[in-house]
Structure 1
Amino acid sequence: MIFVSETGNRLGGHRLIIWLFTAILVVFGSLSIATKPAKAAVGSSIPDLSEWQGKLTATEVQNLKKTVPYVILRVQYGSDYKDKDFATTAALCKKYGLEYGVYSFSQYSSTSDAKTEAKDLYNRAPDADFYVNDYEDQTVTSGTTNSATAAWYTELRSLAPHKRILFYSYNSFATEYANTAMTKYDGYWLAAYQSSEPTISHDLWQYTDSWASSALGQNVDASKEHKRNKSWFLSSRAISYNKTVKITKSGYDIWKSLVFTSNAGTATVGNTYTAKYYYNHYNGRKYYSLYSNGKWVGYINANAATVTD
């Protein structure tokens, strides 16, 4: 059999076989490229999960890592009930690098009970990036709801001095039962299932209980950040430092924020600054907040500088 190419050249024998094999590779290679699924983009929705979603698999957690900024996991329902899947899910999150915060569905009945619940939350989730008091049921029977809610915060703050602690509730409930206590917390996670973002001051907005998670193949609760960023939730609070530091290594940028999207230039070796604060970033590094003559300059990796006093 003789095959004639488009240029009119006669191809035969082993040359024909080579030509056909090459053509097949090109065709299947093109199909492979065309049908290869696009890499999932990390969205802005942040799911909160519990045993109600079932035990997560390694694949599901890996897919969550690719599609969400971080997750918020339930640890307990009061002190007496531990979420049966938290430990497994938290271990998978740690294994695959998915950051997570945690919450306690609060059931405290008094100030002392609130302290116990806060302590149990910390002891059950010491590696969490941040903590949440989910207070949406009025269970306080001794003392005031505000004193109990404030005690919850104070106890957890003593255990996690540098991590964020948030208060979660619906606005009507928060206003009635925790209007003064909630101001102690680092932020407010507002529950409001509506299409437009609430005008009430908040840091995280739980906007739905039916977000379609492609990673899990089911609908779950989801929230969005408000005037905050991932670093604010997952990194430490500002830790007071007030030391003079000298830039001793070249090639380090001074950043305008801890999400590292813009910088204020490269640090000059020999320059000195006051590091008023430092942050333990969720990426595992430490960053100084630099000041010069009382004016804020930016953030820099602590490895770039040496403390001189």
Structure 2
Amino acid sequence: MGHIVDISKWNGNIDWSVAAPQLDLVIARVQDGSNYVDPMYKEYVQAMKSYKVPYGNYAFCRFTSIADAKKEAQDFWARGDKGALFWVADVEVKTMDDMQGGTQAFIDELRRLGAKKVGLYVGHHTYEAFGAANIKADFTWIPRYGGNKPAYPCDMWQYTETGNVSGIGKCDLNYLIGNKSLSWFLDGNGDNKGQQSRPVGIGTAVSKYPVGYEVNLNTNPTDFIFSGNSIKDKNPYLIYKAWWIPEYMINFGGDQQWAKLEHFDVQWFYAYSKYPSGYQIRHYDGPNGKDTGFVDGSEPYRLFGRQDGHVDIGGNRWIREEHVVIR
């Protein structure tokens, strides 16, 4: 798993040959209000295209009225590269009395212009004052530092402004904490068409603690015997399997890489039907087990396990992986 980074001119010259292989997604600043275009944006976009780094656009908002919000969105759309997977309204400072109304006008104007997916970045300290809970955006992105997750519902968490990625240096780092997977962000239309399934794993985990704090890895999920290894960074780790008794445990791929779930922020993978809602997918009481009924694919199903071409969607229901996209 790679990093999700947001960048602006303050990140300076980036060595993309070093950084690109570490990046899952980059969100690049296009402008700061209508009157300032980020001088590094075009260079960043050219490099991201060359190194095939997925990217979205964001604009720091300075609008002072509904009309100004629409004009600022128009400038953002005109300046932003249309290869971006999504567009983000970065609303951090109060610039008009009705920030909720201004932000909604900005987002709605982007949609009218052709943006298929528009997100909201809002300060943790301004979430309530700006009425963010009532702003209709496709996803919400909130910064909160110091190890605590945002107290408000969101899809992306900017968890540090002092991260470090080789080739970039000091930078903001983000983690997905909602039900929207990385694949959702990488699909510019937000649907399942043409999506590739994650080949392995049932989720990703990031330590809840500051860099340097050690989370011990155990030899197995039941005896809690220290393996001699630990995790002490904030990188996302792929979860290969989980164990629920006597404690919730997750495994990072090796026989001696078990850790307590309570120490991690986890994004579970979900199974999405490849077929129209209502199409019946049979489920079984185990991999290659007895037929026990069907699901209709009308909702995504969280993964609890993967084995022999089947996925466990809970309730002792296993479905064939060939019928779903895992993301």
Q: TM-score, normalised by structure 1?
A: 0.62
3-state SS in 2 of match to 1:109: coil
> Shift in Å at residue 199 of structure 1?
4.2
Q: Is the 8 A contact 2:122 2:132 kept in 1?
A: no
Is the counterpart of residue 150 in structure 1 residue 104 in structure 2? yes
Q: Identity, % of aligned pairs?
A: 27
Q: Using the TM superposition, give the Cα deviation of residue 187 of structure 1 relative to its aligned residue in structure 2, in angstroms.
A: 1.1
Asked if structure 2 preserves the Cα contact closer than 8 Å seen for 1:149 and 1:181, the reply is: no
Larger Rg: 1
C-alpha contact (below 8 Å) 2:26/2:56 kept by paired residues = yes
1:260 corresponding residue in structure 2 = 198
CA 1:240–1:151 in structure 2 vs 1: closer, same or farther (change >3 Å)?
farther
Q: Distance in 2 between matches of 1:156 and 1:181?
A: 18
Q: State whether structure 2 residue 276 is matched by structure 1 residue 290.
A: yes
Structure 1 residues without counterparts, runs of 5 or longer: 1-41, 242-254, 263-286, 301-309
Q: How many residue pairs get matched? A: 213
Greater helix share, 1 or 2? 1
- Secondary structure at the counterpart of residue 82 of structure 1: coil
Instruction: Tell me the secondary structure at the aligned position of residue 224 of structure 1.
Output: strand
Give the superposed CA RMSD: 2.7
TM-superposition CA deviations, 1:133-156 (whole Å, max 9, x none): 110011126xx2211111011001
Identify the match of residue 99 of structure 1 among 36, 54, 63. 54
1:194 aligns with 2:149: no
The correspondence of residues 45-194 of structure 1 with structure 2, limited to 5 A, is 45-56=3-14, 60-125=15-80, 126-140=82-96, 144-162=98-116, 164-182=117-135, 184-194=136-146
CA distance in 2, matches of 1:153, 1:196: 28
Task: Name stretches of at least 5 consecutive residues in structure 2 with no aligned partner.
Answer: 201-272, 281-295, 299-322
Matched-pair contact (CA < 8 Å) for 1:211–1:220: yes
Deviation string, structure 1 residues 89-112 (Cα, Å, up to 9, x no partner): 101111110111111011000111
Rounded Cα–Cα distance in structure 2 between residues aligned with 1:220 and 1:87: 19
CA contact (8 A) 1:50 1:85 kept: yes
Contact 1:133 1:168 in 2 (8 A): yes
Taking the aligned partners of 2:278 and 2:90, their CA distance within structure 1 comes to: 41
The verdict on how the C-alpha distance between 1:259 and 1:107 changes in structure 2, with shifts beyond 3 A counting, is farther
TM normalised by structure 2 equals: 0.59
Which stretch shows the higher mean deviation, 290-299 or 170-179? 290-299
